[in-house]
Amino acid sequence: MSGAANDPFHASFEQYFGLARGVWELATRALQSAGDPAAQARTFSEAFGGLRGDRQPPPPSWMQGWAQAIAGMPGGLPGMVGGAPGASWLPGGLAWAGPDIPALGFTRERQEAVRRLGTLCARVIERQQELATHWRAFWEEALRALGDEAARRIAAGKPPGSIREIYDLWVECAENAWARMAHAPAYLESQARLVNAFSAWRTEQQSQMDAALRALDLPTRGELNSLHLRVRRLRAELRRLEKLLAPPRSTARATPRRGTRARTRKVRS
């Protein structure tokens, strides 16, 4: 039960249910005082004025969601149908109900896409924080090394004689500490995970941007890629044919190749 009580969806439901019950009660009381408009008005005023505590309005995220929905929908439903520019209203959707609730309704695919983006972005942040722990350890090690090295030199009767000398010593200690960290398997893994998380996030961004461009009938990266690949295939085929048609090298040397070159240039430019 405590699990259910901590569940944001459960809590929101309770609040919403409480609000609905309150509205129902005050409507019933108002109806009971039928025939006396002044009493009806008083009843409504007192009843709504008294909606506090467990009868507060739904939680801010819920409200925010709808507020964003209303504010972010250009042209209402047509905006939703037309394309992604209106998609900014989506994150609020059912987000308050928890990330594990499947997206529902007409815009479910878009809701899912926005959720994916959020999840991938969160992963990037998580990986950054993971990498930052290595950096923190690095700073500690570099500073400790500087202190140790300075102490060693002082003990040896050769203390750093200038600010510049201390600075150069710092750079040396920092670079050594950096190299130790940068070569360590744990750091390599962490850094690679961040890069990979960033790539996944960027790919999802591009996919959603492509969806928006498609909705506006503008060229997408996917379409450009297809065209580039077609041109490349044609060029490869051209190169293959040129090789087939080219005379053997001994003959080729005796023949001026300017014409061939000019053709090649034109095609490949």
Partner 1 sequence: MSTGCIDPQAGLRELLEFSQKLAQGLGNLRAAAGVEAGCSERETVYRDGKIALHRYRSIAPPAGVAPLLICFGFVNRPWMMDLQPDRSLIRRLLERGLDVYLVDWGYPDGAERFDDLADYLEGYLHDCVSHVLDTHAIDALNLLGVCQGGTFSLCYTALHPERVRNLITMVTPVDFHTPENLLAKWIRGIDVDALVDSQGNVSGELLNVVFLSLMPFRLTQQKYVGLVDVLQNPQQVENFVRMEKWIFDSPDHPGEVFRQFARAFFQGNALLAGSLEIDGRRVDLRNITQPVLNVFAQQDHLVPPSASLALGRCTGSKDYSTFSLDVGHIGIYVSGKSQRELPDRIATWLKERTTK
Query: Binder to partner 1 among 199, 223, 234, 237 (CB under 8 A)?
Result: 199
As measured in angstroms, the least distance from the Cβ of 146 to partner 1 is: 8
Q: Does 268 bind partner 1 (CB under 8 A)?
A: yes
Per-position x/- string for 116-135, each x denoting binding to partner 1 as judged by CB under 8 A, each - no binding: --------------------
By CB under 8 A, residue 224 contacts partner 1: yes
Which residue in 20, 171, 186, 216 binds partner 1 (CB under 8 A)? 171
Size of the residue set binding partner 1 (CB under 8 A): 49
Q: In this structure, what DSSP letter does residue 256 have? A: -
91: nearest Cα among 70, 114, 71: 114
CB of 215 to partner 1, least distance (A): 22
**DSSP 8-state assignment for residue 255:** S
Q: Which stretch binds partner 1 (CB under 8 A): 15-23, 32-40, 43-51, 198-206?
A: 198-206
Q: Decide if 96 contacts 8 (C-beta within 8 A).
A: yes
Short-list 4, 26, 2, CA closest to 13: 4
**Whether 180 contacts 174, CB under 8 Å:** no
Q: Does 229 participate in binding partner 1 (rule CB under 8 A)?
A: yes
Q: CA–CA distance from 268 to each of 100, 184, 228, 236, 246 (Å)?
A: 52, 46, 13, 10, 17
DSSP, collapsed to helix, strand or coil, labels residue 156 as coil
CB of 211 to partner 1, least distance (A): 16
Residues 6 or more apart in contact with residue 99 via CB below 8 angstroms: 115, 119
Alpha carbon 229 to chain centroid, angstroms? 29
DSSP 75: T
Asked if residue 191 binds partner 1 (CB under 8 A), the reply is yes
Q: Shortest Cβ distance from residue 91 to partner 1 (Å)?
A: 22
Q: Is 269 in the site for partner 1 (CB under 8 A)?
A: yes
Residue 115 CB, nearest distance to partner 1 (Å)? 19
Listed as own residue / partner, the contacts of 133-137 with beta carbons closer than 8 Å and 24 or more positions apart are 134/181, 134/186, 134/187, 134/190, 137/181
Contacts with partner 1, residue ranges (CB under 8 A)? 150, 154, 159-164, 166-168, 170-171, 174-175, 178-179, 182-183, 188-189, 191-193, 195-196, 199-200, 202-203, 206, 221, 224-225, 228-229, 232, 235-236, 239, 249, 252-253, 257, 261, 264-265, 268-269
